[in-house]
Chains A and B, each alone.
Chain A
Amino acid sequence: MKPITKSVVRKLFKMKWRVFAISMVVSLAMAMFIMGLYSAVIFDHSMDTFIEETNFPDVFVSLSEPVDYSVADGVVSNIEGIDTYSLRLKLDGTYHYDSDDYPAVIIGIEDPAREDISRLLLKDGELFNGNGEGNVIAGMEDIGAKVGEVLSFSTIGIDFDITVKGSVQTPEYMFASAIQDSSLPLPGHIVILYMDLGELQNITGFGINDILLNVADGQRDPVVGSLGSLPVSEIIFQEDHPSVVFMDIGAGKMRNMFPLFSVIFMVVGMISIFMTFYRIVMNDSRYIGVLMSLGYSRLKIAWAYMTFGTILAAIGSIIGMILGFLFTMGIMSYTMSMIGDIRVAYPMAPMPFVLGLIFSFGSVLISVGIPIIHITRQSVRQALDHKPKTKILTVGTAFSGLSKTRLMGIRNTFRNPARTALTVLVVGMSIGISGSWIVMADSAWGYMVDQVNQDTWDIRVDFSSPISNEDATSLLDLNETEYVIPFAYLAGQISGGGNSDSTFIVASDRVLETRDFELESGRLDLTTSVITNKLASELGVSQGDRITITVGAKTLETTVGGVVFDILMQAVYLDRDAASSLVDRENASSAFVKLQDKEDIDKVAAEFEEMEGVAKVTIQDDIINAMEETFGQGMGMLYFFFFICLIIAMVVAASAIIISTMERDIEFATLETLGIPRRKVIGSMLIEIGIIGFFSALIGLPFAYLFGKLFAIVMEDVLYYFPIVFAFSAMAITFAFGFLFVIGSSIFPIRYTGKLDAEKTIRERTAG
C-alpha cells in the first residue's frame, strides 16, 4: 500500500464504530431499495410456483347437469390432445356449525393424492381415504372446519357428516383465508370440502358434473370443440380463472407498489450518503492540501479516498444485503398470508442485489469523488486554508442570560445554515415517509368508519325463512323501535360493461331511509337500479348503462339509475316493483331496525334473538369492531414501515451529527481543559440536536401528508379509494416520534465526546 492510501485507511480504522454507524446509512438505504425490487420479483415467482407446483388445470369445464361417470370418461378419454384429466362432482351445499349455516362447496374427487392435475397441497393432517373422510381448504378453522372435527353438511336436501383428516391448499380456492381475514369484500365464510367421489355419488345419486383438463400446447380450441356431446354449461381457461386473475392483479399491484418504495428510499439514501461522505472528505481539506503541496497528483489523492469510500461502501453493502433479504422475508410472509397463505418461493434473482450494489457503491463513490474534485481544483494555498465552513450567524447575542454552552449549541446549529438545512430536509423527509403510514392508516380507517356510519339502522335481523313484509314489521315493532324496514336480501351475479361479478341485491321500497346515500353520479332511482361505486368500478359501468342481474334461474335486465359511494359493498338497490322478477314482492328475508335510543341496542337485540323465525341478529357496532380487527392485522405492516423509516431518520441524523461533532473535537477538548461540567457539554449537544430534531419533525409533517397522498394513489389500486384527510393525532404522533428518534441519535455524539482524549486531540489538531 502506498503511504497516502495507508494514511487514509488508517484514519478509517481510527474511526472504529463510527465507521459502522456511517455505513448503516448505506446499509439501510440499500436494504429498502433491495426490498422494493426483490419482493416484487418474489411475489410473481411465488404465484407462478404455486400454479406450476399444483398443476393447475388449463381448462375448467362445468356441466349443466350431472352425467354418468362412464359417459363422460368415454368422451374425454377419446379426445386427442388431452394430457391428463379429472372428473369430479361439484355441488353447492350448506355447512352447519354451532346453530349457524354457512355456504359450502362440496367436491368429490377420485384420488386426493393425484399430483398431475389440480394437486392438493397438504397443510396439516393427512389426505382423506374414503370412509366418510374429507379435506377442507385451510383458513376456516374459526368456524370449526379443522383437522379432527366431524363436520355436518347438506346438499340437495340430504344431510351427511364428514371427518376432516387434513387441511389443504389449492389455487382453485386460494382466497378462503383472505376472505375470512380481510372482511373487506364481505362475502363472509365459505367452506370448501374435498371428499371421495364414489362416496358423494352414493349420497346424491349423481354422476359427475365438473371436468378439469390439462391439454397439450396449442390443442385447447380443438379439445374444447370436441366436448360437444356433453351438456357443457361453462368453460373457463386457466388465465380467466378467478384465482389467476386475482393473482395477476395482485402481482401487478405489488409490482407497482414495492418499487415505489425503492425509489423513495433511494432518494433519501443518496442524499444522506452524499452528505455524509462529502463532509468527511471536506473535513480533510487541509490534509489534502498538504498532500498536494508534497506533489501528489490529483488522481493519487482521489484514489486514496476512493479506497476509503470503497471500504465503507463494502461494509455497508454486506449489511445492506443481509438486511434487505430479511426485510423482504418479513414483508413477503406478511403479504402472502394476507392473500391466501401461499408459500413464499425465493427465486434466484440476483438483479435486485446487483442493482443495490451499484446503487450503494455508485452513491458512495460519487459522494467521495465530487468533493475531491472540488478541493483538488483549488490551489494548494486555498486547500491548506480551508476550515470547516463557519459562517456564524450572530444568533443568540440577544439572550445574554443564556449560558455559554447553550449559546454554543444554538450557534453550532446555524454555523453552516445550508448544511443544517440539508440535514433537516433529509431527516424530515425520512420522518415524513414514516408519518405518511400513520396518515394513510388514519385516513383509510376514518373513511371506512364514515362509510359504515352512513347506515342509519342499529340492528339488522335475518329471518330463517322468508316472511311477509307485514309479519316482519309487526314482529319487530317494539316500543323502543323508531323504524322497521323489511327487505329482500339476495346474492346473485351481475353483468354489464362486458364484465360479470357477484353482488348482493337489496330490495325494499324504503331502502333510502336506511342509509345516508351519497351520490357519485345519476339519481337515487330505485325503479331502475342504484349500484355502489365499488361494483360500478369492478364492472366498468356508469349511469345509463345496461346491466343484467341473475339470481339462480331468474334474471332482471335494467339500467343503472345512479351510483352511490360505498367502498365496502358490492350491492344493487332496487324497489320491490323493480325487483319483482327476482323475488316475490311480498317476501322479506331481513329487516333493518332503528331504535329511538341507542342505549337499548343490547336489550332489543337480545329480545330479537329469542324470537321464533329469527336466524341472525347483527348490531351495527359489531361490524365496525370486526373491521377494526381486520384492520389491526394490516397495521403490523404499517408499524413495520413506520419504525423502519424512523430508524432511517435516526441513522441519517446520527451520521450527520457524529460528523459535525468530529469536526469540532478540538472544541470539546478545550471545554474539557476548562473543566466545564460534563452535563453542560451534553446540554450543549442536546440543544443542537434538539433544534435539528424539532425542525426535522416539523417539516416531516407536510412530507407525511404529501407522501400519504402519493401512497394513497397506489393504495387505491391495492385496497380501495380513500381521501387523505388531515388528522391532528397522526400529525402529533409523527412529530413526537420523529423528534424523539432524532434526539435518540444524540447517544452517539455524546458517547464520542465522553471518550474524547483532550490531550491527544489538542496535540493532533495543532500538529498541522
Chain B
Amino acid sequence: MTLVKINDLHKSYTTGGEITHVLKGTDLRMKKGEMIMVMGPSGSGKTTLLNLLGGIDGSDSGVLVVDGLDLTKLGKKELNRFRRERVGFIFQFYNLIPTLTAIENVELGLESILGNSKEMRARSRKYLELVGLSDKARNYPQELSGGQQQRVAIARALAKEPALILADEPTGNIDEEREESIMGIMKELQHQLGITFLIVSHNTRLKRYMDRTLILRHGKLHEGS
C-alpha cells in the first residue's frame, strides 16, 4: 500500500526577480510503514521537500499525494486538519513553545486529536519517558539543553502516532547513545503501528536503520548506496 506518491514535482522560489528551481521533477513512492532517509548537499531542497509533504508549503506542479489525500487540491483548513491528524513534524530547530513545559509541549500536539482526556495525558507521559525525559516533564524549554529540547520535539511528533513522520536532522544535537535508543523507538513504532518515516539527515550512522536511503541532488531524488 502506497502512503506517499510524488510524481514530477516542481518547486521554485522567486526572490528579487531571480528564480531558484529547487525541485525539478522529483519522484518518490513510499510504502506504508517504510523508513526512508534523504541525504543531499546543503541547499539541495531537503527541507523544502519535507515542507511540501507536510503541507506547510505549496508546490508549483506535479503529483503530491499523502495517505490518499491530494495535497495540491486541499484548502487552508483541510491542510491544517491533514497536519493535525496525519503528520508529525520534527524540526531541525525544535520549535518548542516557550510558555509550555516539556510535557505540555507534547500534550499540545495530542490535545487537538484526543481532546483533554486521560488517554492524552497518559500517552504524553509515555512518550516523554520513552525519550528519557520523565524527570524534566515540568521544565520549560529554556531550562533544557539543546539535545533535551530536540527530544521533546521528537516526543511531540511521535506521541501523535501519525501516519507519516517528517524529521529534519532529528539527531543533530543528540549523543550517540541517545541516538541509538531514539532510533530504536522509531523502529518499534514503525513495526508495531506501521508508521512511515521520512528522515532528512547528513548522519551516515542512521543508514543502518533505514529501509532505503535516497540522495537529493539537482532537484531530483536518486537511489543511494
Residues in A lying within 8 Å of B, measured CB to CB? 387, 390, 392, 397, 400-401, 403-405, 407-408, 411-412, 415, 666-667, 669-678, 680, 758-759, 762-763, 766
Determine which of A415, A666, A674 lies in contact with B112 in the assembled complex, contact meaning CB atoms within 8 Å. A674
Q: Closest 6 CB pairs between A and B?
A: A675-B84, A675-B83, A411-B99, A766-B93, A404-B108, A759-B57
Bound form: Cα–Cα A353–B138 in Å: 56
Indicate whether B7 reaches chain A with its CB closer than 8 angstroms.
Answer: no
Given contacts A403-B111, A404-B104, contact A673 B92 (CB under 8 A): no
Partner of A392, one of B83, B85, B112, B140: B140
Q: Is the CB of A680 within 8 A of B97?
A: no
User: Cβ of A675 and Cβ of B92 under 8 Å apart?
Assistant: no
Contact across chains for A673 and B83 when beta carbons are under 8 A apart: yes
Q: Which residues of B contact A404 (CB under 8 A)?
A: 100, 104, 107-108, 111
CA distance A397 to B95 in the complex (A): 21
Q: Which residue on chain A has the smallest CB distance to residue B138?
A: A397
Residues of A within 8 A of B80 (CB): 672, 675-678
Whether B116 and A759, one on each chain, are in contact in the complex, defined by CB atoms closer than 8 angstroms, is no
Q: Is the CB of B84 within 8 A of A677?
A: yes
Residues from chain A with a CB closer than 8 A to the CB of B95 are 666, 669-670, 673, 762
Q: Which of B156-193 contact A (CB under 8 A)?
A: 156
Question: What does the 1/0 interface line of B49-86 toward A look like (CB < 8 Å)?
Answer: 00100101100000000000000000001001111110
Is the beta-carbon distance between B56 and A390 smaller than 8 angstroms? no
Check if B97 sits within 8 Å of A670, measured CB to CB: yes
Cross-interface CB contact of B98 among A392, A405, A762, cutoff 8 Å: A392
**Known contacts A407-B104, A758-B56, A759-B56; A675 and B97 CB within 8 A of each other:** no
Nearest A residue to B97 via CB reads A667
Q: B142 on the interface (CB 8 Å rule)?
A: yes
Q: Which residues of B contact A676 (CB under 8 A)?
A: 80, 84, 108, 112
Q: Which residue of B lies closest to A412 (CB)?
A: B99
Closest residue of A by beta carbon distance from B84: A675
CB nearest neighbor in B for A676: B112
In the complex, 10 of the A-B residue pairs with CB atoms within 8 angstroms, ordered by the A residue number, are A392-B99, A397-B101, A397-B138, A404-B100, A407-B99, A672-B80, A674-B109, A677-B84, A759-B57, A762-B93
B contact set with A: CB distance below 8 Å: 47, 51, 54, 56-57, 77, 80-85, 87, 89, 91-93, 95-101, 104, 107-109, 111-112, 116, 121, 138, 140, 142, 156
The answer to whether residues A675 and B87 also contact, given A401-B116, A404-B108 and a CB cut-off of 8 A, is: yes
Q: Specify which chain B residues have a CB less than 8 angstroms from the CB of A401 in the assembled complex.
A: 116
Residues of B within 8 A of A669 (CB): 95
Which chain B positions have C-beta within 8 A of A758? 56
Query: B56 touching A408 by the CB < 8 A rule?
Result: no
Bound-state CA distance A672–B97 (Å) is 12
Give B190 Cβ to nearest chain A Cβ, in Å.
Answer: 22
| A412 vs B98: C-alpha distance when bound (angstroms) | 9
B98 touches A667 (CB 8 A): yes
In the assembled complex, the Cα of A766 lies from the Cα of B98 at a distance in Å of 15
Report whether B89 and A415 are in contact in the complex, using a CB–CB cutoff of 8 Å: no
What residues on A are CB-neighbors of B108 within 8 Å?
A: 404-405, 671, 674, 676
A672 CA to B79 CA in the complex, in Å? 10
Q: Which residues of A contact B51 (CB under 8 A)?
A: 759
In the complex, the chain A residue whose C-beta lies closest to that of B54 is A673
- Least Cβ–Cβ distance between B7 and chain A, in angstroms: 22
Q: Give the residue name and chain of the B residue nearest to A669 (CB).
A: B95
CA distance A759 to B142 in the complex (A): 23
A671 to B81, CA, bound (A): 12
Closest to B160 in A: A674
| Chain A: CB-nearest residue to B140 | A392
CA distance A631 to B82 in the complex (A): 61
Complex CA–CA separation, A545 to B147 (angstroms) = 90
Give Cα distance in the complex from A148 to B177, angstroms.
Answer: 104
Q: B71 → chain A, closest Cβ, in Å?
A: 13
* B112 close to A680 (CB less than 8 A): yes
Residues of A within 8 A of B56 (CB): 672-673, 758-759
B97 proximity list for chain A (CB < 8 A): 408, 667, 670-671
Q: Which of A408, A411, A675 has the most CB of B within 10 A?
A: A675
Q: Which residues of B contact A766 (CB under 8 A)?
A: 91-93
Residues of A with C-beta under 8 A to B112: 674-677, 680
Query: Which of B57, B87, B91, B100 interacts with A407 by CB under 8 Å?
Result: B100
CA distance A504 to B178 in the complex (A): 98
Q: What is the distance, in angstroms, from A567's C-beta to the closest C-beta of chain B?
A: 56
B85 surroundings in chain A (CB, below 8 A): 675
CA distance A671 to B105 in the complex (A): 11
In the bound assembly, the distance between CA atoms of A670 and B99 in angstroms comes to: 13
Residue of B nearest to A415 (CB): B99
A666-B95, A680-B112, A762-B95 known; A674 vs B83 contact (CB < 8 Å): yes
Given the interface pairs A390-B98, A403-B116, A667-B98, the reply to whether A675 lies near B82 with Cβ below 8 Å is: yes
Most buried by B among A404, A415, A676: A404
Smallest CB separation, B92 vs chain A (Å) = 7
In Å, the complex CA distance between A387 and B138 comes to: 21
Whole-angstrom distance from the CB of A120 to the nearest CB of chain B? Answer: 70
Besides A666-B95, A676-B108, 6 new A-B residue pairs in contact (Cβ under 8 A), listed by A number: A392-B99, A411-B99, A415-B99, A674-B84, A675-B81, A766-B93
**A726 CA to B138 CA, complexed, in Å:** 47
Complex Cα gap A166–B86 (Å): 83
**Which residues of chain A come closer than 8 Å to B83, judged between CB atoms?**
672-675
> Could you tell me the distance between the alpha carbons of A408 and B96 in the complex, rounded to whole angstroms?
12
